[in-house]
Amino acid sequence: MSSPDNGNHNIAATVFHDLRRQILSGQLAPGERLPGERELAATYGTNRNTLREAVRRLEQTRLVTVRHGQGVTVANYRRTGTMDLLSPLLEASTNLSEVAHILQDILPARVLVLEFAARLAVQRADKSDIERLRDITDLLVSAFEGRDPTVMAHGFQRWLDALIDAGHSVAIRWIANPFLEAYRDLLDRFPVLWVLDASFPSHLREFLKALEDGNEEATVAAVRSYYSNIDEAVLRTLAELRASSRT
């Protein structure tokens, strides 16, 4: 079990990712016991210290529990986990059906988070926040008209970042981070999910205007309506992909 895997030149990290994938994909079920550290180290062709780093990282992410004298057991992470597991879980999902099932739960929560972020932004954004959002909006709109997907994808990440920053709240930043991370990773993996209809520029403009006017309800409504549309399109695209992959 060599594991050339990714370009990561870090043995402990490689082992960690491999074990995490095995757990999140169900190959290692909750309650199941992992081999001992000595055996695992031999399996991965490394030594105990390096392997222990990987296991402790698993423990830190609540994927396993380690007890002196008893060994390492896979934790019931669906109950005890946190959103940090979102991106890895999507990454470990082997088929579109699983991804769709997870997204059905996640996307409404994401809308809620972004609504909350928008509300905070209206209340707390200063001039530089709004200016930053306006710059990114201009960039996104021109990229949209020029059909430049790379600039758009990158720009949209920046737009979300700017929205979160405008809330000036550690809480919303910490809540949003796992969503943003999962969103980025998911688009890297399934670029087809990058769904945008012709209303994209007008929605961005509408949001910006509501924010500048300090109209809280209009700002929140703009975010809600836009992302609800996006999410429906994403789920619809996923359903089509699943249908076509079965043929």
Partner DNA sequence: TGAAGACGCCTGGTTGAACCAATTCTGACC
Partner DNA sequence: GGTCAGAATTGGTTCAACCAGGCGTCTTCA
Alpha carbons 194 and 186: distance in angstroms, whole number = 9
Alpha carbons 89 and 153: distance in angstroms, whole number = 22
Decide if residue 48 touches DNA (CB under 7 A).
yes
Among positions 33, 36, 174, 213, the unique one binding a copy of itself when judged by CB under 8 A:
174
Among positions 11, 175, 195, 196, the unique one binding a copy of itself when judged by CB under 8 A:
175
Alpha carbons 160 and 166: distance in angstroms, whole number = 10
Helix, strand, coil shares of the chain, percent, nearest 5, are: 75, 5, 25
Single-letter code of the amino acid located at 22: Q
Q: Residue 147, SS3?
A: coil
> Within positions 101 to 140, which residues make up the interface with a copy of itself, using CB under 8 A?
102, 105-106, 108-109, 112, 116
With contact defined as beta carbons under 8 Å apart, do 219 and 210 qualify? yes
53 CA to centre of own chain: 24
With contact defined as beta carbons under 8 Å apart, do 3 and 44 qualify? yes
Decide if residue 22 touches DNA (CB under 7 A).
no
Show the binding pattern over residues 66-85: x = contacts DNA (CB under 7 A), - = does not: xxxxxxx-------------
Q: Which of DNA, a copy of itself, none lies near 71, with the C-beta cut-off 5 to 8 A by kind?
A: DNA
Decide if residue 60 touches DNA (CB under 7 A).
no
C-beta closer to a copy of itself: residue 19 or 143: 19
Decide if residue 7 touches DNA (CB under 7 A).
no
Decide if residue 84 touches a copy of itself (CB under 8 A).
yes
Which residues of the chain form contacts with DNA (CB under 7 A)? 9-12, 34-39, 45-50, 52-53, 66-72
